[in-house]
């Protein structure tokens, strides 16, 4: 009879557009550092979006986050795993969050990359707690969104320090 999609475990399917998006167009299939490669996939997207108004950039980022909840949930259920390492859509969105209002230039893109990966890997409170306790697509997306917010704060602090502006 009709077996439900969520009840059966399947392998990553290159032909499934949802899997392809979740795996960052294939970056997540890397046996080494799929999260880092997934974050690299975000850079061309950032380059496309960086010239948009802040409202448009935020709107697109929120849409990508919300769509990501469904993409990551469906793919993780298809693969029969809670948070497969190959799912990197969350890293893509997390990097875009870090880069909100970032100054133009490759140095800032690299700094944002380093900050985001640092917080995504280290998982300071409450990121680690969310990573362990919140399940499904929202859990997959939320911990990286918070890492993106931490990265955003660090990047903006660097911007203030680099400009020599006193924050006191």
- Say how many domains are in the chain: 1
Domain-located, residue 24: no
Domain-located, residue 7: no
* Whether the Cβ atoms of residue 65 and residue 141 lie closer than 8 Å to each other: yes
Residues 108 and 83: their CA atoms lie apart, in Å, by 29
Question: Does 64 have pLDDT greater than 50?
Answer: yes
What does the block give as tokens for 81? 């795993």
Domain-located, residue 108: yes
For 25-38, how does the pLDDT look when each residue is reduced to its tens digit (9 = 90+)?
999 989 999 999 99
Domain-located, residue 5: no
Domain that holds residue 61: 39-162
Number of H helices, E strands in the chain: 7, 0
For 107-151, how does the pLDDT look when each residue is reduced to its tens digit (9 = 90+)?
999 999 999 999 999 999 999 999 999 999 999 999 999 999 999
Question: Which of 105, 100, 106 has the alpha carbon at shortest distance from 154?
Answer: 100
Question: Which of 68, 92, 94, 89 has the alpha carbon at shortest distance from 154?
Answer: 94
Is pTM, for the whole model, over 0.85? yes
Max Cα distance, the chain (Å): 68
For 72-108, how does the pLDDT look when each residue is reduced to its tens digit (9 = 90+)?
999 999 998 888 889 999 999 999 999 999 999 999 9
Residue 168, pLDDT score: 53
Domain-located, residue 86: yes
């Amino acid at each position: 009879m009709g077996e439900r999609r969520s009840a059966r475990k399947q392998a990553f399917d290159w032909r499934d557009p949802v899997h392809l998006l979740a795996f960052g167009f294939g970056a997540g299939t890397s046996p080494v550092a799929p999260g880092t490669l997934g974050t690299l996939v975000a850079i061309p997207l950032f380059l496309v979006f960086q010239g948009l108004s802040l409202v448009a950039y935020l709107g697109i980022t929120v849409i990508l986050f919300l769509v990501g909840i469904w993409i990551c949930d469906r793919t993780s259920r298809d693969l029969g795993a809670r948070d497969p390492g190959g799912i990197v859509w969350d890293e893509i969105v997390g990097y875009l969050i870090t880069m909100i209002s970032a100054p133009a230039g490759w140095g800032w893109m690299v700094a944002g990359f380093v900050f985001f990966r640092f917080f995504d890997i280290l998982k300071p409170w409450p990121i680690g707690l969310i990573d362990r306790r919140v399940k499904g697509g929202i859990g997959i997306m939320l911990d990286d969104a918070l890492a993106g917010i931490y990265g955003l704060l660090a990047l903006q602090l660097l911007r203030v320090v680099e400009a020599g502006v006193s924050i006191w």
